[in-house]
Structure 1
Amino acid sequence: MTTSTNLEPSTFQHTPFYCEENVYLLCKKLCADGVANPDSSDLFAVFISNEKKQVPLWNQKASHRADGVVLWDYHVICIQKKKDGNSSHLVWDLDSSLPFPSPLSSYIAETIRPSFPLFSEFKRSCRVVHGPIFLRSFASDRSHMKDTAGNWVAQPPPYEAIVAEDGIPNNLNEYIEISSEDAAENLNADVVKAALTQKFGIVVGESLLEEFLSLVDD
């Protein structure tokens, strides 16, 4: 396999404010370049949001603050599970100012900052979707990026909109509708199986991401 250090963020397609599509193309490129498994089985798309659509994340390039904090309505990253027990799982986030990719443990500590005291409306949950299912099922017609007059809030990517393999043109809302009430409080084999088989994965609290990866069989 190619070493991940050979890939710079500039070699990936990146359109500001379209993180879900950026991650979709990133997953495909990691597979094509031999950095991830050809079938994307070691990849997970992770949607981070909450009921209020207000999630603070640090070390983001879009920030105008020294600490890099941004209050996103939602954010999407790719996590790669490493088979080697001595290797850290990796986070691929094209919007992050941290090393690319970053070890999952340091990304959580520096971007999600679970120890930072937050009001309840800013608490974050994560929808974890297995790579193969995400690449087959995800679709976005980009309608969420238009205002009431039909004008673009942010310029869309130059390529055609992503359509799911079954022909569905848009299901982004199903991925980004995330509630803490839906989050699994405890992880077990059934929860992990659901994450690997369900179209929209599972929702877990931010504190369970590392534990979830540890329970996924290689």
Structure 2
Amino acid sequence: MFISNDKKQIPLWHQKASHRADGVILWDYHVICVQIKRDDKSPQVWDLDSTLAFPSPLASYIAETFRPSFQLFSEFQRFYRIVHGPILLRHFASDRRHMKDSDGNWTAQPPSYDPIVAEDGAVHTLNEYMEIHGADAVPCVEPTLMDTVRMERLGAVLSENQIEEFFSMLS
């Protein structure tokens, strides 16, 4: 799940990179994995940047990290691109260009593993996944949305109030 918005400013709480006691930080985008096991009805969130339990139950992760009861200004509203894992693994690529400044210097230490190359040889599709606009959000969660997420390369964009409903349909 990719999280962002039109302004590329999304607040998330309980993040390791924060310098505040409540762990809040503004990310331009964020990526988490939501796992649903066939034998377990409780989706789990894997967030490498979170100070919460690893993994965390989806409901508690949403409550603690997104804080839906906290009223956000419209420019900070989060939207979520949901992509099925096998589809993402075939099409996602990142050569880490987003981690370099205009002179080509690293802005952060890159991961130790090799850059990710898509099945078709593409070297950078990250921008397509993190480009998330509120206008792209589906109007409602319905059963056909599952097909979109499972088959479309870029999945589907949901608004914050649709996340739990969507995952409850899967589990």
Alpha-carbon deviation of 1:207?
1.9
**Any stretches of 5+ residues in structure 2 without a counterpart?**
none
Aligned to 2:140: 186
Report sequence identity in percent. Answer: 62
Considering Cα pairs closer than 8 Å and 6+ residues apart, tell me whether 1 or 2 has the greater RCO. Answer: 2
Matched, 1:167 2:107: no
Aligned to 1:89: 43
State the alpha-carbon separation in 1 of the partners of residues 59 and 143 from structure 2. Answer: 22
Matches within 5 A, 1:9-24: none
Q: Secondary structure at the match of 2:49?
A: coil
Kindly provide the amino acid, as one letter, of the partner of residue 136 in structure 1.
R
State the alpha-carbon separation in 2 of the partners of residues 88 and 59 from structure 1. Answer: 21
- Which one of the candidate residues 6, 10, 13 is aligned to 1:58? 13
State the alpha-carbon separation in 2 of the partners of residues 189 and 136 from structure 1. Answer: 24
Aligned to 2:151: 197
State the alpha-carbon separation in 1 of the partners of residues 166 and 115 from structure 2. Answer: 31
Matched, 1:141 2:95: yes
Matched, 1:47 2:2: yes
Q: Deviations over 1:73-95 (max 9, x none)?
A: 0000000113346x421001111
Alpha-carbon deviation of 1:215?
2.1
- Which one of the candidate residues 119, 125, 138 is aligned to 2:73? 119
State the alpha-carbon separation in 2 of the partners of residues 214 and 113 from structure 1. Answer: 19
Aligned to 1:71: 26
CA RMSD of aligned residues (A): 1.2
Q: Deviations over 1:131-182 (max 9, x none)?
A: 1011111101111111111111111112221100111111100000000110
Aligned to 1:3: none
Q: Deviations over 1:28-65 (max 9, x none)?
A: xxxxxxxxxxxxxxxxxx00000000000000111110
Spell out structure 1 runs of 4+ moving beyond 2 A.
82-85
- Which one of the candidate residues 91, 104, 123 is aligned to 2:58? 104
TM-score, scaled relative to structure 1: 0.76
TM-score, scaled relative to structure 2: 0.96
- Which one of the candidate residues 136, 141, 151 is aligned to 2:105? 151
State the alpha-carbon separation in 1 of the partners of residues 81 and 98 from structure 2. Answer: 19
State the alpha-carbon separation in 2 of the partners of residues 145 and 187 from structure 1. Answer: 34
**Any stretches of 5+ residues in structure 1 without a counterpart?**
1-45
Alpha-carbon deviation of 1:206?
1.7
